[in-house]
Amino acid sequence: MKKPSQRNSLIVTIPLAATAAAWVFLLFLPIQKVIGRLQDEIDEMQQYCNRSELLLPVLGRTGRDLAEVRKKVAYWDKTAPSPEDLTPLLGQITAAARAAGLRTTRFDPKPIVVYDRIAEMPVSMGVTGSFPLLFRFLAKIENMPQTVWIDRLEIEKAGQTGWSVSCDMDLAIFMDNPENSDQRNDLPDR
C-alpha cells in the first residue's frame, strides 16, 4: 500500500519540482538579471547626477567670466579708435604731455601694423621735464579710454641737479582691424 501513495506523491512532487525549476530558470533568474542591470543603470545615473552637482559652481563661475568678457568686449567696442580717430588721438597724447608740463622732443608715429583681428599703430616719443610731471603724463596715457600700451620706457637724468629727466618711449595704440574684425558679431545671449 505504501507503493501507491509513494507513487502518488512522486506524481505530484516531480511536476511541482519541474514547475519550480522552470519558474526559477525561465522567470526568476532572467528577471533578477534585468533587475540587476536596471540597478546598475540607476547607480550610474545617480553618479552622473552627483557629478553634475559638482559642476554647478563651475557653471556659475563660467557664467560670471562670460559676463565679464562681454563687458570688456563692449568696452573695447565703445573705445577702440578707428583709423579716422588716430589723428585726434595722437593730438590728445601730445596735448597730455604739454598739459603735464613736459616738453616733447620727439613724436614719431610709425606705419600701422595689421594683425588678424586688430591693428596697432606704434609711436615713438621723447619728452623732458621733471620726474613727477613725467609720472603724471604716464598715468594720463594709461588711463585713456583707448587701448594705449607703453611698450618701452627709458628714463635718464637730464641735468646734473634737480628732478629733470629725459624719457624715450614706444607706445602702441590698438584698434580694430577694419578688414577682418568680428567685433560687430557679438556672442549670442543665452
pLDDT tens-digit profile of 140-162? 998 898 889 999 999 998 777 67
In a domain, 35, yes or no: yes
Q: Which residue has the higher pLDDT, 109 or 2?
A: 109
Q: What gap in Å lies between CA 32 and CA 69, rounded to an integer?
A: 54
Does 55 score more than 50 pLDDT? yes
Mean pLDDT of the 42-55 span: 86
**3-class DSSP assignment, residue 177:** coil
Q: Are 187 and 70 in contact, with CB atoms under 8 Å apart?
A: yes
User: Are 149 and 114 contained in the same domain?
Assistant: yes
User: Are 88 and 171 contained in the same domain?
Assistant: yes
Mean pLDDT of the 174-182 span: 71
Tell me the pLDDT of the chain averaged across its residues. Answer: 85
Does 182 score more than 70 pLDDT? no
Mean pLDDT of the 95-108 span: 94
pLDDT reported for residue 147: 86
**3-class DSSP assignment, residue 160:** coil
Q: Please give the tally of structural domains in the chain.
A: 2
pLDDT reported for residue 91: 93
Does 8 score more than 50 pLDDT? yes
User: Are 99 and 136 contained in the same domain?
Assistant: yes
Mean pLDDT of the 52-74 span: 89
Instruction: For residue 143, give its domain range.
Output: 83-176
Mean pLDDT of the 46-64 span: 87
What pLDDT band is residue 88 in, cutting at 50, 70 and 90? very high
Please compute Rg for the chain using Cα positions.
Answer: 40
pTM comes to: 0.61
Q: Are 130 and 163 in contact, with CB atoms under 8 Å apart?
A: yes
Nearest to 94 by CA among 137, 35, 152: 137
Q: What gap in Å lies between CA 102 and CA 136, rounded to an integer?
A: 10
Helices (H) and strands (E) in the chain, counts: 4, 5
Q: Are 100 and 140 in contact, with CB atoms under 8 Å apart?
A: yes
**3-class DSSP assignment, residue 157:** strand
Phi, psi torsion values for 72, nearest 5 degrees: -65, -40
Q: Which residue has the higher pLDDT, 179 or 99?
A: 99
User: Are 58 and 116 contained in the same domain?
Assistant: no
In a domain, 186, yes or no: no
Q: Are 145 and 175 in contact, with CB atoms under 8 Å apart?
A: no
Residue at a domain's end among 79, 110, 134: 79
Residues 114-136 as b/e (b if ≥16 CB within 10 A, e otherwise) read eeeebbbbbbebbbbbbeebbeb
